[in-house]
Amino acid sequence: MTDKQPKIAIVCEFLTVMGGAERVVYELHEAFPQAPIYTAIYDEDRVLPEFKKLDVRTTWLQKIPKKIRKMYKLFPTLQVKAFRDLDLSEFDIIITSSYLNANQVRKTRPGQVIISYCHTPARYYWSHYNEYRKHPGFGKLDPVIRLLIPLLVPRQRKLDYESSQNVDVFIANSTETQKRIKKYYNKPSTVIHPPVDVNRFEPSRERGNYYMTMGRQLPYKRYDLVVAACTKLGLPLKVFGNGPAHDHLVDIAGPTISFYTDRFGDASDAKLEKALNSAKGWIYAAEEDFGIVQVEALAAGAPVITYGKAGALDIVQDGESGILFHEQTVDAVVGAIKKAEQTTFLPGTLRRKAKRFEKGLFITKIRKVVLDNAPQNR
């Protein structure tokens, strides 16, 4: 950083669960430790305890009673207004970590620069609209939400596109996201993969006989395919995480499937780290924008058996660091597992491949982009 550092703010949608986007926010703060973090809603008990030490500032949505706040996804227009109401006039650079509405923040004076680290253009509005309309993920409310989606989404798409045009620099988290930014926003972007703390993992020389999967159990993530495939093959599978689809997964699971629901899929959990370091392999059937957990699996020496689309293509080389399958069906997952069983993977090699995504590289690259686009350098 230079002597004349620009004043920077970090903006993210929510800090209410601990996932890949929230980890990126934490590493953005490590890159720019003087930057406050603005977010729509903050629940300090559901994210890393380290956030309590940071300067986290919330929108007026935080004042809504907690029981109502939990339904924030039902009020996208309020989210847009909350971000537009933020007064960020004191900052030279606004860095957004965005997958929904964070880019709705406004420039309030000449010379301000908005840099968006984009996890994906909002999946609800663009790339996965049809999937979300079929499976909104609101449980008993799904029939009502399906009726509302066609009425709400066109307006939200318009607002989202307008906000994208106010972004000065887009950074994509994967080549897939880069394509979506161009397709939906007609904007160029630079790919900087998310940071992964690969040193949290230490591959065991003695590998277990079980497979693993982990994450927020939502319908579109297709954990049902992984559970069904391992049940069909009679293979041990450890499932870490929780979510709306959890009860269904338990219902379809055979006797070889074990569930661990301690922390809603938080990959920092010590129990998960220990299990992953000895896992025979990692299985994942969702189409991810990137997929930090897949990198973590490689860092732990576990080959990745995954759906060969989108972000996975930046991470997994078929036959070298894992096995790719190309249909989201039980039979496709079964076939990929059988292929993996016949392939030799060296944990040390897998770990070296994971090091391409070390968080130190992320911090170096993100600092360069920000400084290159500081107001005095534009």
The 10s digit of each residue's pLDDT in 99-137 is: 999 999 999 999 999 999 999 999 989 998 888 888 887
Q: What is the pLDDT of residue 48?
A: 87
* Of 277 and 2, the one with more pLDDT: 277
Sorted by sequence, the CB contacts under 8 Å of residue 41 that are 6+ apart come out as: 14, 15, 16, 58, 59, 61, 62, 69, 72
CA distance 32 to 36: 9
* Of 1 and 134, the one with more pLDDT: 134
DSSP secondary structure string for all residues of 232-250: HHT--EEEE--STTHHHHH
Sorted by sequence, the CB contacts under 8 Å of residue 255 that are 6+ apart come out as: none
Q: What is the pLDDT of residue 267?
A: 40
CA distance 174 to 180: 10
Q: What is the dihedral of CA 16, 19, 20, 22, to 10 degrees?
A: 30
Average pLDDT, the chain: 91
Model confidence over 219-258: pLDDT tens digits? 889 999 999 999 999 999 999 988 888 999 999 999 999 9
Identity at 1, one-letter amino acid code: M
CA distance 227 to 335: 14
Assess contact for 231 and 249: CB atoms under 8 A: no
Is the confidence at residue 1, as pLDDT, over 70?
no
> Please, what is the Cα angle at 252 between 248 and 254, to 5 degrees?
140
Would you give the distance in Å from CA 279 to the centre of its chain? 22
CA distance 176 to 315: 12
CA distances in angstroms from 183 to 127, 171, 180, 376, listed in the order given:
10, 15, 5, 31
Assess contact for 207 and 340: CB atoms under 8 A: no
pTM for the structure as a whole: 0.86
Minimal CA–CA distance to 300: which of 327, 279, 284?
279
Model confidence over 321-365: pLDDT tens digits? 999 999 999 999 999 999 999 999 999 899 999 999 999 999 999
For the four alpha carbons of 59, 64, 67 and 68, in that order, the dihedral sign comes to: negative
* Of 298 and 73, the one with more pLDDT: 298
Q: What is the pLDDT of residue 242?
A: 87
- pLDDT average, residue stretch 39-45: 93
Assess contact for 217 and 244: CB atoms under 8 A: yes
Query: Please, which residues bridge with residue 116 across strands?
Result: 96, 170
The DSSP output letter for 49 is G
DSSP secondary structure string for all residues of 190-209: EE-PPPB-GGG----SS--S
For the four alpha carbons of 221, 227, 230 and 233, in that order, the dihedral sign comes to: negative
